[in-house]
C-alpha cells in the first residue's frame, strides 16, 4: 500500500496537471476505505454503503475530465462535460445494483436489494437508471451520428424487454448478466461513434 501511494502521488505530481482534483479523489478514497469512520453503521446498511462508496466513480470521472479541460484550455462547466460524467458513471451504478438483485429462490443470508425491497421494485429502479443513462448517451451523440442513436435505442429496448421478462419470471436468468451485456454493447457503440466522427466527420 505504501508503494502504491508513493507511486500514484509521484506520477500525479510529475505528469498530471490537475493535482487538486487528484487530492480530492485520494482523500475521498481514503475516507471511503475507512468507512468514513462509521464502519458498523455503514456496513450494516446496503443503501448507505451505496451512497457513500459508489460516488467515488463520479469523482474519478471528474478527475479524468478535469485533466482534459486543463490541458486543452476547455471550459469545465459545459453540458457536454456534465453528460459525459454521468454517461461514464451510470454503467457502474447500474451494475453495482444489478449484481445484488436475485430471484427469491436464490436469496441467501447475503443482503441484497431484492431482499430489502423485493426483486420487482429493485429491477424497476435499475430500469429507470438505464433509461436516464440512455438519455445522456443520446444527447451526447445526437449531433454526431443518427445511426448510432438508433442503435443505442435499439439496445436499450432489448434491455428493457429483459427487465420486463425478469420481473415476470426471475428464474429465467440472472439480471446482472443481461446488464453486463447491455453495458458492453452500449459503451462500445459510444466509442465507435466518437472514433467514426473523428475519422469521417458527422454522419
pLDDT value at residue 186: 92
- Cα–Cα distances (Å) from 183 to 8, 38, 125, 141, 175, in that order, read 29, 33, 16, 16, 12
Q: What is the structure's pLDDT at 202?
A: 59
Query: Looking at residue 124, what is its pLDDT?
Result: 96
Task: Confirm if 141 and 192 have CB atoms less than 8 A apart.
Answer: no
Q: How many CB atoms lie within 10 A of CB 98?
A: 25
Mean pLDDT, all residues of the chain: 91
Three cell numbers at 181? 451485456
User: How do residues 58-91 score in pLDDT, each as one tens digit?
Assistant: 999 999 999 999 989 889 889 888 998 999 899 9
**Rounded to two decimals, what is the model's pTM?**
0.85
Which residues of the chain register pLDDT less than 70? 201-203
The domain spans of the chain are 1-76, 79-203
Residue 120's pLDDT is 95
Q: Is 102 helix (H, G, I), strand (E, B) or coil?
A: coil
For the CA atoms of the chain, what is the radius of gyration?
19
Placement of cell 438483485 in the chain: 101
Amino acid at each position: 500500500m505504501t508503494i502504491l501511494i508513493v507511486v500514484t502521488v509521484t506520477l500525479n505530481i510529475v505528469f498530471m496537471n490537475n493535482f487538486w482534483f487528484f487530492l480530492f479523489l485520494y482523500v475521498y478514497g481514503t475516507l471511503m476505505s475507512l468507512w468514513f469512520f462509521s464502519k458498523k453503521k455503514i456496513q450494516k446498511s446496503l443503501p448507505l454503503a451505496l451512497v457513500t462508496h459508489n460516488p467515488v466513480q463520479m469523482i474519478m470521472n471528474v478527475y479524468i475530465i478535469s485533466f482534459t479541460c486543463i490541458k486543452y484550455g476547455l471550459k469545465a462547466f459545459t453540458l457536454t462535460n456534465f453528460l459525459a460524467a454521468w454517461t461514464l458513471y451510470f454503467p457502474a451504478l447500474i451494475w453495482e445494483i444489478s449484481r445484488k438483485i436475485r430471484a427469491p429462490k436464490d436469496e441467501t443470508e447475503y443482503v441484497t436489494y431484492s431482499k430489502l425491497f423485493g426483486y420487482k421494485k429493485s429491477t424497476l429502479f435499475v430500469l429507470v437508471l438505464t433509461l436516464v443513462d440512455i438519455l445522456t448517451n443520446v444527447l451526447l451523440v445526437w449531433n454526431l451520428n443518427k445511426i448510432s442513436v438508433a442503435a443505442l435505442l435499439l439496445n436499450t429496448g432489448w434491455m428493457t424487454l429483459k427487465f420486463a421478462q425478469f420481473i415476470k419470471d426471475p428464474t429465467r436468468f440472472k439480471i446482472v448478466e443481461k446488464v453486463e451485456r447491455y453495458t458492453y454493447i452500449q459503451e462500445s457503440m459510444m466509442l465507435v461513434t466518437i472514433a467514426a466522427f473523428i475519422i469521417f466527420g458527422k454522419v
